[in-house]
Amino acid sequence: MTNEKPDWIRLQKALAIEAEHGFTDLLGKQYRFSEFLSLTFGKFPIVLAATERRRWHELAAQFANYPNLGLEDRQHLVAETRRYLYQLQQEEGEQGSRGVEEQEIVYKSKIRLEKFATGGNPPYNFSQNPKSKIIAEVSRRLAPKIDQKLSDLPEIGIRKADNLARLGLYTVRDLLFYYPRDYIDYARQVNIRELQGGETVTIVATVKRCNCFTSPKNKKLSILELILKDNTGQIKIGRFYAGARFSSRAWQESLKRRYPVGSIVAACGLVKESKYGLTLDNPELEVLANPGDTIESLNIGRIVPIYTLTEGIVANMVRQAVIAVLPAASHLKDPLPSGLRQKYDLMELKDAIANIHFPNDSASLQVARRRLVFDEFFYLQLGLLQRQQQARAIQTSAILAPKGQLLEKFHEILPFQLTGAQQRVINDILNDLQKPVPMNRLVQGDVGSGKTVVAVLAILAAIQSGYQAALMAPTEVLAEQHYRKLVSWFNLLHLPVELLTGSTKTSKRRQIHAQLGTGELPLLVGTHALIQDPVNFHQLGLVVIDEQHRFGVEQRARLQQKGEQPHVLTMTATPIPRTLALTIHGDLDVSQIDELPPGRQKIQTTVLSGQERTHAYDLIRREIVQGRQVYVILPLVEESEKLDLRSAVDEHQKLQESIFPDFQVGLLHGRMSSVEKDDAITKFRDNQTQILVSTTVVEVGVDVPNATVMLIENAERFGLSQLHQLRGRVGRGAAQSYCLLMSSSRSPDAQQRLKVLEQSQDGFFISEMDMRFRGPGQVLGTRQSGVPDFTLASLVEDEEVLLLARQAAEKVIEIDATLERWYLMKEELKYRYERLMGGAILT
């Protein structure tokens, strides 16, 4: 290292002569071209900033390997080096044109910006410095602009920008908000004696011995070995360099010169056991002038960010790009008012961005993360509440009568008393239907809680007010189930009801279309067929969507568009955790039927291993002999070569021929035609078959009170919520029912999940646990569910922040729903909300 200025002319002349002579690695008076360049770049001027010094180190290694390069690689290296030196010379010229004092300030500002970017002190805290105004101005000038293209930044350039574009990063803002997915904590500095396997640490020690050589077993692998010593002990560490270019003796010698005996080295990595004792796994290294010097590496001695990468993009490329743009965080204007930040104890945005990338310590990382998680939740809730406010401003929906003869007659023919929870939810719905504002209510209820009866009362309120209603279900099995139940009630009320699915014959379909158009048909039940173009209602007043999360956003919206702002009632038998409900249904009113009808017995649930299969078959025999029926559920229709799972087709044959030849065994799966499905369900419902082997087609909609045993094969393959749904197919009668979860998995996690079902019948608790085990995207069983794609926020870990963000959003909307008084917040909402929802606006 030297204080001398670079001899630009001499360096450029050497590069030019090499190019003129065809890149032959010319031999000079003392050195070859490659040796001269390697030595020159090995001694970098002190005036260079840290990032430039790293670049000079790289060039020293590249020119040491120059003799091993092909012609094209030599041409490229020489051309890139000439451009790079020219750029440095221009920057030095610009500094020279300033006054000496300002030149010094520019240099110091660069260093402070770099320290800020790599975890040092923030660069704009210059209150103690008498020259603070000049430094702040220079720092501002040096910082990139928020909307600047990455390719325009000299630290990144076109080639790196093209790579970053593959990660969806095009501008400075994109990179600032490209949060790390994880971190490695090298901030803890320890003595060698304190090292323990499995920890990530940093040590500072003296080089006792250094060697660099080509592996005797692999000529394309070079190894750097160091023995480091401090006053508590010593350690042997190694770094590996794969590639023929590293086997050059010149390159190896240049590498050894970096770590001379007696030099001070900072090293960080994962502590692992080796045949020599403890070592650091392929560590990062930096030579220090003195033991107490500041470590300038991107990795050593700090919390290192880990970014999501793709093929061809290495971690340090992204880290260095982030460092280049991080000073631009100072340009960020915080959309959250200072009062709101103080109330919820939130870090300022520019500081949060700096600390999420390169935190000083774990405490500052947590504070930064909390602020950015709050933002993700806050803008989502703000958008949902704003939409709810806009919907409530519409005054064009039908006003439906909460009382009348139809409702009174229905209460009279009901063979059972409504539960308190059902009555409470019905009151919520009837109150909504009396308003000109369109109802948008979600009814959640556990399996068997009586959601259908609640929906029927809403439908009858629409019909007695002169309007039509539509009930849409996700599968033909469930639509058929609803239709059967409704027909049994509507016949007693002398009301027509029809079923429309993909299997409905053309002649019947035409008849339904005609009756809908004239208003003769007050209620239509169906599947996706309801949203087809020929389906036109005369006067649609109410839309009921069952298992609504199974429909896409557009499908739900298209059904609503069949009427003029109809009231909408959505239902789900998949209880949704509170955080998930707030996130995807934050613009809906939510009611819960949290009470089961009296007399329902708990379903006895048991987890069984493959060796206990005979116990399951004994129970099945005993129940069938007593006149009961059994479901056997499998995850596959046909045997898969890749998965060792029992298939429905094979299991049906085995049970019928070998295990239960005395009983009738039916088969039901999704690949069967509608006629075949109906036939299988009808035979099971009429007890013509005692055992029904099925896939998850029966998850919802099949209601056979005589079924008392549910045997689920490969239970570990299902989510907890889905298993709970399947379990709900039994226990619908007065007899004791059983759910047997057959699992061959020895995984502790799988066993722990299944034990939850053994211990609880509470669907809401089970859904919470399911979300913890599998994440929100899997709980609802479909990517069409509308779960936002959060970058940092976790619905499992950040419930407290979500509730605070909801509270804050409610207060903001209460003060000014248009956000006109908070222009920055309004613009940020516009940018973030649709991006967060992936362009999908929920109905």
Structural domains for the chain: 8-144 (no CATH), 182-306 (2.40.50.140), 338-393+793-836 (no CATH), 405-434+450-572 (3.40.50.300), 604-760 (3.40.50.300)
Sheet of 629-633: strand order equals: 604-608, 738-742, 707-712, 629-633, 691-694, 665-668
Q: What is the mean pLDDT of residues 241-250?
A: 84
- How confident is the model at residue 843, as a pLDDT? 29
- Bridge partner residues of 608 (DSSP): 742
Structure confidence at residue 112 as a pLDDT band (50, 70, 90): very low
Measured N-to-C along each axis, helices 405-413 and 451-464 cross at an angle, to the nearest 10 degrees, of 150
- On the question of pLDDT at 162 being above 60, the answer is yes
Q: Could you tell me which residues come within 8 angstroms of residue 509 by beta carbon, excluding any fewer than 6 positions away?
A: 500, 534
Structure confidence at residue 141 as a pLDDT band (50, 70, 90): low
Structure confidence at residue 109 as a pLDDT band (50, 70, 90): very low
Structure confidence at residue 110 as a pLDDT band (50, 70, 90): very low
- How confident is the model at residue 739, as a pLDDT? 94
- On the question of pLDDT at 523 being above 70, the answer is yes
- On the question of pLDDT at 349 being above 90, the answer is yes
Q: Could you tell me which residues come within 8 angstroms of residue 310 by beta carbon, excluding any fewer than 6 positions away?
A: 166, 167
More confident residue, 28 or 189: 189
Distance CA 96, CA 115 (A): 24
pLDDT tens sequence across 23-43: 888 877 777 888 888 888 877
Q: What is the pTM of this model?
A: 0.64
Distance CA 525, CA 512 (A): 11
Q: What is the mean pLDDT of residues 397-410?
A: 81
- How confident is the model at residue 780, as a pLDDT? 53
Answer whether 468's CB lies under 8 Å from 519's CB.
yes
Structure confidence at residue 297 as a pLDDT band (50, 70, 90): low
More confident residue, 263 or 840: 263
- How confident is the model at residue 616, as a pLDDT? 93
Distance CA 483, CA 551 (A): 19
Instruction: Dump strand ranges (E) for 579-674.
Output: 589-593, 604-608, 629-633, 665-668
**End-to-end C-alpha distance for the chain, whole angstroms:** 65
More confident residue, 41 or 137: 41
Please state, in angstroms and as integers, the Cα–Cα distance from residue 142 to each residue in 106, 127, 137, following that order: 9, 19, 9
Pairing of strands 221-230, 468-472: unpaired
Three-class DSSP category at 566: coil
- On the question of pLDDT at 316 being above 90, the answer is no
Length of the chain: 843
- How confident is the model at residue 378, as a pLDDT? 94
Pairing of strands 629-633, 691-694: parallel
- On the question of pLDDT at 127 being above 70, the answer is no
Q: What is the mean pLDDT of residues 76-81?
A: 84
Answer whether 520's CB lies under 8 Å from 547's CB.
no
Distance CA 839, CA 508 (A): 38
Answer whether 3's CB lies under 8 Å from 46's CB.
yes
The mean of the pLDDT values for the chain is: 81
- How confident is the model at residue 621, as a pLDDT? 95
- On the question of pLDDT at 690 being above 90, the answer is yes
Structure confidence at residue 96 as a pLDDT band (50, 70, 90): very low
Q: Select the highest-mean-pLDDT range: 368-382, 698-712, 779-793.
A: 368-382
Q: Select the highest-mean-pLDDT range: 2-11, 49-58, 66-75.
A: 66-75
- On the question of pLDDT at 140 being above 70, the answer is no
- On the question of pLDDT at 619 being above 50, the answer is yes
Answer whether 519's CB lies under 8 Å from 448's CB.
no
Q: What is the mean pLDDT of residues 404-425?
A: 88
